[in-house]
């Protein structure tokens, strides 16, 4: 007869093993079950990540992982061209509550007015201009060429609005603006 726990040979009819001291009547514990479930869960998560990465690209897949794990995420990192006497709104969609960090630099061109507005303010901005919009006071700037603001923000949809108020006659006809928006937990 062999011990069901340590597999050493023991005398027939023994109730306890002479080597490990465990009962020969009790079934050995199965610890593999937990690890199998964890392995399947990890494989499912990796499969989902690869599927999103394959169909939508690496940036959306990395954003999905960052949103789930609440790690720092770069929402926008690009250069925009803004004509004189115009404005442009860039969507900012934090997937979780955190600290929003916005860095803006006019690489070439005119100083800009910058505001961060809630998505429900966009219709008012389009219809009546800048007079009646309510913006986030932590992210306002007037006639700036370098802009860096950090403040807490809730999950939702916002717009970073940049406005060039120059006429383009005695100034540049367009501005190149580098924008980086990062969300930290």
Judge if 54 and 90 occupy the same domain: no
Q: What are the CA-CA distances from residue 169 to residues 11, 28, 84, 85, 173 (Å)?
A: 103, 86, 9, 10, 7
Residue range 92-149, pLDDT digits in tens:
999 889 999 999 999 998 899 999 999 888 888 888 777 778 888 899 999 999 999 9
Q: How far apart are CA 47 and CA 55, in angstroms?
A: 12
Judge if 95 and 42 occupy the same domain: no
Judge if 133 and 84 occupy the same domain: yes
Q: What is the CATH number of the domain that holds 125?
A: 2.60.120.680
Q: How far apart are CA 138 and CA 101, in angstroms?
A: 11
Q: Is residue 83 part of a domain?
A: yes
Of the pLDDT bands very low, low, confident and very high (cuts 50, 70, 90), residue 26 is low
- Cβ of 101: how many Cβ atoms within 10 Å? 18
Spell out the alpha helix ranges (H) of 12-56. 32-56
Q: What are the CA-CA distances from residue 82 to residues 28, 102, 114, 150, 166 (Å)?
A: 71, 18, 12, 23, 11
Judge if 99 and 163 occupy the same domain: yes
Q: What are the CA-CA distances from residue 181 to residues 3, 11, 79, 142 (Å)?
A: 63, 73, 12, 19
Which residues lie across from 178 on neighbouring strands? 79, 105
Judge if 131 and 162 occupy the same domain: yes
Q: What are the CA-CA distances from residue 41 to residues 37, 61, 63 (Å)?
A: 6, 18, 20
Q: What's the domain count of the chain?
A: 2
Judge if 102 and 52 occupy the same domain: no
Judge if 57 and 85 occupy the same domain: no
Residue range 30-65, pLDDT digits in tens:
556 678 888 888 888 888 767 766 676 666 666 666
Q: How far apart are CA 168 and CA 151, in angstroms?
A: 33
The whole-number average pLDDT for the span 168-180 is 81
| pTM score of the predicted model | 0.65
Read off the DSSP letter of residue 135.
B
Domain that holds residue 40: 32-64
- Cβ of 31: how many Cβ atoms within 10 Å? 7
Judge if 92 and 55 occupy the same domain: no
Judge if 54 and 102 occupy the same domain: no
Q: Is residue 102 part of a domain?
A: yes
Q: Is residue 5 part of a domain?
A: no
What are the residues whose beta carbons fall under 8 Å from the beta carbon of 145, sequence distance 6 or more? Answer: 105, 106, 111, 112
């Amino acid at each position: 007869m062999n011990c069901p726990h340590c597999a050493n040979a023991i005398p027939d009819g023994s109730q306890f093993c002479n080597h490990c001291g465990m009962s020969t009547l009790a079934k050995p514990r199965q610890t593999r079950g937990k690890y199998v479930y964890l392995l399947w869960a990890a494989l499912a998560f990796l499969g989902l990540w690869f599927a999103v990465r394959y169909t939508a690209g690496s940036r959306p897949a990395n954003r999905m992982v960052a949103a789930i794990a609440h790690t720092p995420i770069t929402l926008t990192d690009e250069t925009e061209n803004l004509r004189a006497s115009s404005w442009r709104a860039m969507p900012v969609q934090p997937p979780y509550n955190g600290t929003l960090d916005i860095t803006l630099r006019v690489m070439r061109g005119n100083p800009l007015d910058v505001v961060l507005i809630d998505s429900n303010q966009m219709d008012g901005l389009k219809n009546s201009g800048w007079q009646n919009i309510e913006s986030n006071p932590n992210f306002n700037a007037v006639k700036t060429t370098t802009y860096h603001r950090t403040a807490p923000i809730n999950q939702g949809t916002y717009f970073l609005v940049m406005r060039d108020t120059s006429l383009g006659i005695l100034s540049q006809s367009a501005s190149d603006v580098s924008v980086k928006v990062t969300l930290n937990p």
